[in-house]
A and B are shown apart, each in its own frame.
Chain A
Amino acid sequence: MVSAAATAGGLASPEAMLAWLDAVMDPEVPVLSVVDLGIVRGVQWQPAATPGGDPVALVTVTPTYSGCPATEVIARAIKDALRGHGVLEVVVRTQLSPAWTTDWMTPKGRDALRAYGIAPPAACAPGVAPTQVVDIGALMAPREVVPCPQCASRHTRLLSQFGSTACKALYQCRDCLEPFDYFKPH
């Protein structure tokens, strides 16, 4: 593993590359960068694949939902963004474990979602594993309050657990009456 600092010969630092990736938007939620979404798990330099070749920027990405159609588009956009900054060799590696969670979404990303009209995800319940089986009693109990991203009213209702994409539920505000998407805790 060659760090940018060790080679210093014009290689961008991983931090700089992360900043470039912060301009790559999720194609389905175009105000949220892949860094804000929490799916970029790391950027590092690796030695060239062949002697005399260019060093390889290895970007580790974790998928959001296993069937998310944006995954392949995002991998291409990441490569294009780094190449646009002169990084010639980019490898995007998919990592399943640890599984992505909305708790990795940045505060900046949450604000951008709200401004865009999508309610950001609540924190995953502490002490409850997302893989824990569902308890029907808890399911029928009153749900968490999701504030309206338009008028901030807390007087809202769930319309459907699945909205315009698998990662979002559909809510409606009872005060301003607008329907809105809620990015589900995951």
Chain B
Amino acid sequence: MSDSVLDPKFETLLRLGDNCLVLSQQLGLWCGHGPALEEDMALTNVALDLLGQARLWLSYAGEVEGQGRDEDALAYRRDGFEFRNLLLLEQPNGHYGDTVVRQFLFDSWHQHLLAALTRSTDPRIAAIADKAAREVRYHVERSSYLMVALGDGTAQSHDRMQASLETLWPYTGEWFEPDAVDAQSAKAGWAPAAGSLRDAWHASVDAVLARATLAKPAYAGHQRGGRQGLHSEHLGHLLTDLQFLQRAYPQAQW
């Protein structure tokens, strides 16, 4: 990434892959700590799906870049400012409600994104999206169901879910902001324009929040920067865990 001119296809693929990689790592931290055995297994299964998707996107990113980096090099040997994931996904796991809200907000967007990507002009992107969309269908079912179960649960669970929603909501605004990479990618037909998913996502979120008896936050402002490599402090801590082995023992193999 020393090159000042960004390759829009490489950048687009990093954005797709880094979202999956970072959220997968976060969910993996719940392994053995879930509030119930079924939840523990569900979270780690979702983490595994996302890790597989991250591999597919980052392998392709490495090929497009053409500098000899494979998915492992991209996952384990990039610094924080080279990551292109959304800010929401690096926010801490918090309590279970925080994790569920973060997952729901992302899953409901991810499904619209992948559905649009199945119509990509790049056949490899369309094939990966088709594969991933079938998995994400179960993710969004599960997180939507949990939003309703906890939002429309007890007074305490409702209040905690509402508070989580208020905390995390400002991280969703950047998803719909166009930038130069997004414009070039949309023009080539590789990926949908960021703003084009806004209405569909809001409709999905509104339907679930209504059933969950949760109020949609109404902030005018939002945080931005994840897709351009400007991250919150949380990403650095996450990467120290994720990358430890390859940083301490470069090229280590199983």
Proximity string of chain A (84-110) to chain B, C-beta cutoff 8 Å, 1 when within and 0 when not: 000000000000111111000000000
> Which of A1-9, A28-36, A52-60, A64-72 lies at the binding interface?
A64-72
User: Is A131's CB within 8 Å of the partner chain B?
Assistant: yes
Complex contact A65–B135 (CB within 8 A): yes
Q: Of residues 117 to 174 in A, which have CB atoms within 8 Å of B's CB atoms?
A: 130-137, 139-140, 159-166, 170
The docked-state distance in angstroms from the alpha carbon of A130 to that of B137 is 8
A131 in contact with B45 given A139-B144, A139-B145 (CB within 8 Å): no
Bound-state Cα–Cα, A160 to B142, Å:
9
Q: Which residues of the partner chain A approach B131 to less than 8 Å between Cβ atoms?
A: 63, 66, 96-97, 99-100
Q: Which of B51-97 contact A (CB under 8 A)?
A: 51-53, 55-56
Q: Which residues of B contact A (CB under 8 A)?
A: 38-39, 41-42, 45-46, 48-53, 55-56, 111-112, 114-115, 118, 123-124, 126-135, 137-138, 140-142, 144-145, 148, 200, 204, 207-208, 211
Given contacts A97-B123, A131-B118, contact A136 B51 (CB under 8 A): no
Q: Would you call A133 and B38 a contact (CB within 8 A)?
A: no
Name which residue of chain B comes closest to A138, CB basis. B141
What is the bound-complex CA distance between A139 and B148, given in angstroms?
11
B133 & A130 in contact (Cβ 8 Å cutoff): yes
Chain A residues within 8 Å of B200, by CB: 133
- The distance from the CB of A87 to the nearest CB of chain B, in whole angstroms, is 27
The residue that A66 contacts in the complex, of B45, B52, B123, B204, with Cβ under 8 A, is: B52
Q: Within 8 Å CB of A130, what residues of B?
A: 133-134, 137
A65 touches B41 (CB 8 A): no
A-B contact count (CB 8 A): 108
Is A41 interfacial (CB-CB < 8 Å)?
Answer: no
Residues of A within 8 A of B51 (CB): 67
Nearest B residue to A134, CB-CB = B140
The complex places the Cα of A107 from the Cα of B245 at a distance, in Å, of 45
How many angstroms between the C-alpha atoms of A140 and B204 in the bound complex? 14
Where the two chains meet, the residues of A that have a C-beta atom closer than 8 Å to any C-beta of B are 63, 65-69, 96-101, 130-137, 139-140, 159-166, 170, 184, 186
Once the chains bind, are B141 and A161 in contact (CB under 8 Å)? yes
Residues of chain B with a CB closer than 8 A to A67's CB: 48-53, 55
Chain B minimum-CB-distance residue to A137: B207
Contact call A161/B52, Cβ cutoff below 8 A: no
Interchain residue pairs with CB less than 8 A apart (13): A66-B135, A96-B130, A97-B127, A99-B131, A101-B134, A130-B137, A131-B130, A133-B111, A135-B207, A136-B144, A161-B141, A166-B48, A166-B135
State which of B48, B53, B56, B138 has its C-beta within 8 Å of the C-beta of A161. B138
Which of the listed residues B46, B126, B133, B138 has the most CB atoms from chain A within 10 Å of its own CB?
B138
**Cβ A159 vs Cβ B38 within 8 A:** yes
Nearest to A101 among chain B residues (CB) is B134
Residue among A96, A135, A165 facing the most chain B CB atoms (10 A cut-off): A96
**How far is the CB of B43 from the nearest CB of chain A, in Å?**
8
CA gap between A159 and B42 in the complex, in Å:
11
Q: Are B46 and A96 touching (Cβ within 8 A)?
A: no
Closest approach, in angstroms, between the C-beta of B152 and any C-beta of chain A?
A: 11
* Across-interface contacts of A100 in B (CB, < 8 A): 131
Contacts of B133 in A (CB 8 A): 130-131
State whether A160 touches B42 (Cβ < 8 A).
yes
Docked-complex contact B127 and A96, CB < 8 angstroms: yes
Cα–Cα distance between A159 and B145 once the two chains are bound (Å) = 12
Q: What are the 8 A-B residue pairs with the smallest beta carbon separation, nearest first?
A: A67-B52, A66-B52, A97-B127, A131-B133, A160-B38, A162-B42, A67-B48, A162-B45
State A135–B144 Cα separation when bound (angstroms).
10
Min Cβ gap A115→B in Å is: 24
CB distance from B25 to the nearest CB of A (A): 13
Distance between B131 CB and nearest chain A CB, rounded to angstroms = 5
> With A65-B135, A68-B52 given, can you name 18 additional A-B contacts, CB distance below 8 Å?
A66-B128, A96-B124, A97-B123, A99-B130, A130-B137, A131-B114, A133-B115, A134-B140, A134-B141, A136-B208, A139-B141, A140-B145, A140-B148, A160-B38, A161-B42, A162-B38, A166-B48, A166-B49
